[in-house]
Chain A
Amino acid sequence: MTDSYLNQYVPLLVHMIVAAGLSAILILLSTFVGNRRPTRAKMQAYECGMRPTGDAREPFSVKFYLVAMLFILFDVEAIFFYPWAYVFRDLQVFGFVEMMVYIGILLVGYLYLWKKGALDWNR
């Protein structure tokens, strides 16, 4: 059973090998055969548009972490809405009340971080 199942994927495997091989050949050919005349403009990250300033790897403010963490928390907590929405009709009023309690708890957390100034960017 396993063998016949995997056999279906042989064309895909061939395709992947051909694709990888072709791109490797093309890259190698252009490195060895082509001649290069680097100029200052060619060496820049973007040939047109904004002139790049500084390094991409410079440290950035901790504020971003705070906002990102808060975003992740509230984002992921919304995950429970999906199974809830799926069975909402079966649960009737109880499901509604229960979800209101859940949202209420989230709102308490929101109120807390609001009053604490976690959303205040300039603090």
Chain B
Amino acid sequence: MVPSSYYLVLSAVLFGLGVVAFVFKRNIITIFMSIELMLNAVNLAFVTFSQHLGKLNGQVFVFFVIVVAAAEAAVGLAIIILIAKHRQSLNVERVDLLKL
């Protein structure tokens, strides 16, 4: 058996990569993908803890995360398409009507 801590470290690394990509990437789709990466890191952590604790509920949580992520993806992509249609660009820095 690979010890659980390996999976937890992998999960933390994936989550960290997602955060870094979210902060530094400029393409909206890429930023969106980094969020999906973070959610999948969470899924990995849930499954690992579930296995480690010998309880099944952690794996059921993963179903909820997957479904919610899909719903979020549908809405998010719709918003992104709307932006792409109106501005011919997917660079977040060019979406700047509202000053930050």
Q: A2-B3, A5-B1, A79-B63 are in contact. Are A73 and B81 (CB under 8 A)?
A: no
Please name all residues of chain B whose beta carbon is closer than 8 Å to the beta carbon of A76 when the two chains form the complex.
Answer: 66-67, 70
- Complex partner residue of A77 from B1, B67, B73, B81, CB under 8 angstroms: B67
Interface assignment of A69: CB less than 8 Å from any CB of chain B: yes
A72 x B73 contact (CB < 8 A): yes
- How many residues does chain B have at the interface if contact means C-beta atoms less than 8 Å apart? 15
Which chain B residue has the least Cβ–Cβ distance from A78? B67
Give A72 to B73 CA distance when docked, in angstroms. 9
Answer whether residue A32 sits at the interface, using C-beta atoms and an 8 A cutoff: no
> Do residues B2 and A73 form an inter-chain contact, with CB atoms below 8 A?
no
A122 to chain B, nearest CB (A): 19
CB distance from A91 to the nearest CB of B (A): 14
Contact A5 B2 (CB under 8 A): yes
Return the chain B residue nearest A74 by Cβ. B70
B53: Cβ under 8 A from any A Cβ: no
Interchain CB contact under 8 A, B78 and A69:
yes
Q: Name the distance in Å between A103's Cβ and chain B's nearest Cβ.
A: 15
Select which of B60, B63, B71 is within 8 A of A73 by beta carbon.
Answer: B71
Q: Contact between A73 and B85 (Cβ–Cβ < 8 Å)? A: no
A83's partner among B60, B66, B74, B78 (CB-CB below 8 A) is B60
Q: Other CB < 8 Å A-B pairs besides A76-B67, A77-B70, A79-B66, 11 of them?
A: A2-B3, A62-B85, A65-B77, A69-B78, A70-B74, A72-B74, A73-B71, A76-B66, A79-B63, A79-B67, A83-B60
Q: Mark A residues whose CB is within 8 Å of B.
A: 2, 5, 62, 65, 69-70, 72-73, 75-77, 79-80, 83
Identify 15 residue pairs between A and B in the complex whose beta-carbon atoms are under 8 Å apart, listed by A's number.
A5-B2, A62-B85, A65-B81, A70-B74, A73-B70, A73-B71, A73-B74, A75-B70, A76-B66, A77-B67, A79-B67, A80-B63, A80-B67, A83-B60, A83-B63
B positions within 8 Å CB-CB of A: 1-3, 60, 63, 66-67, 70-71, 73-74, 77-78, 81, 85
